[in-house]
Structure 1
């Protein structure tokens, strides 16, 4: 997403359309992917594997929350269902009648669309799949440079970088674990990583800074990553204009958000304010 600062220079803000709590679209659907791309962002696809080995877009271990799967299927593990069974469910209707007919997509379906638009990118968030099978699909569609692979386990990121070196890798770290986990990753020299994502959860009491994780930690993390040629991404589970402006003022230019349209509007306000001095 390109915006201009007060000097008319272009600034790039990268953003991920987080799926599992997405407030604007039925998550992990082709409709959600297209929505994020058209807004100038990067959609995320949570990936699981069916009993017959098809990698699909699905966050949860079962279809109960996001599909209209019949009662007999609602608590079945995705890993125990065939792809044909998964395709019988509607993945849009529980979100809104507007999205009736949306199916749980296969990763191959999403990659085939991605391959038609080399300027677009896609996050793949590992849930439960065969990484070698995923790597083969990425190579088949020739989209390695358009993929950002995400997981909390640093070892999985290392594996993917070995399998498909052109794929960018991102380790995500929950805020309650960030002190130890970030230090561990730092001590490896951020081995095989391109991005580190840190989660931002609201503090119980807002005393001039919205989040539980202190701004000083974020500033230090940003410094370390920048020195090593990596990027810091933050996932603020909630934000308003003031908190987002503070993050931007710190120099953060990569975000994951649950409200893409609201985020884009906020980003434009920020740079408009900077232009108008």
Structure 2
């Protein structure tokens, strides 16, 4: 989204509406997708494949946490269920009665919207899909440039880039693995990558800087990535006006957040001080 500061200067900030811990919408639903787009962000959809080869939005390996699947189906793997079976479950009511009747969407439903809105984008967080099938579905809708493929395994990012070169790729790295993992991909010259996402978890220590990953590491990573033509994204599980301001002051312009509306309001405050 672009935000105007108090001098009328546009500041482009990209942000992902993280799904599995989203506090504002039922995760991996079409309602969540539209909510993020309408706020000016980029929704994420976690992707899994059904027994009959349909790619759907689902974070967990089973439907127990997020749907009304029967006791008999609660612990069944999504990969063992057909799409018709999955459509019997409600994917919204566990979050709120407001979303009763919400169904688990197919990836094709999401991509169909993208094909009609070239200004929109989507993150695809790989959980369990056949990558050849995934690339074919994306290419069917002609939306490769609107898709950001995400995973923690560099090899999967390389594979999807080979299958569909115009798709952007993002490698996400948990904060406790950052020293080793960032060095490993740096040695490859960030092969087949467009974005690196670093998870920022709150420190248990009382100190001025909120996160366990240190400010200097982020600054160095941002410089390295910028030099290589890549972007740095940070997943901020928790933030306030002060901590977000510090990240923006470092020059970070790509975020993943669990509270999209709160993030947008805080962002607007920053640029209009």
TM over 0.5: yes
Which residue in the other structure is 1:175 paired with?
175
CA distance in 1 between counterparts of 2:197 and 2:224 reads 13
Which residue in the other structure is 1:62 paired with?
62
Which residue in the other structure is 1:48 paired with?
48
* TM-score of the two chains, using structure 1 as the length reference: 0.97
The 3-state SS of whatever aligns with 1:209 is: coil
Deviations 1:33-66 (A, max 9, x none): 0000000000000000111111100000000000
Q: How many residues align?
A: 273
Which residue in the other structure is 2:27 paired with?
27
The 3-state SS of whatever aligns with 2:148 is: strand
For residues 135-174 of structure 1, the aligned pairs below 5 Å read 135-174=135-174
CA shift at 1:6, angstroms? 4.6
CA distance in 2 between counterparts of 1:272 and 1:227 reads 29
CA distance in 1 between counterparts of 2:60 and 2:252 reads 30
Measured on the aligned residues, the alpha-carbon RMSD in Å equals: 0.7
Deviations 1:158-194 (A, max 9, x none): 1111111111000000000000000000111111100
For residues 1-277 of structure 1, the aligned pairs below 5 Å read 1-273=1-273
The 3-state SS of whatever aligns with 1:115 is: helix
CA distance in 2 between counterparts of 1:123 and 1:239 reads 22
CA shift at 1:9, angstroms? 2.1
Gap regions ≥5 residues in structure 1: none
CA shift at 1:110, angstroms? 1.0
CA shift at 1:3, angstroms? 1.1
* TM-score of the two chains, using structure 2 as the length reference: 0.99
CA distance in 2 between counterparts of 1:271 and 1:123 reads 26
CA distance in 2 between counterparts of 1:198 and 1:86 reads 33
CA shift at 1:220, angstroms? 0.5
CA distance in 2 between counterparts of 1:7 and 1:108 reads 42
CA shift at 1:196, angstroms? 0.2
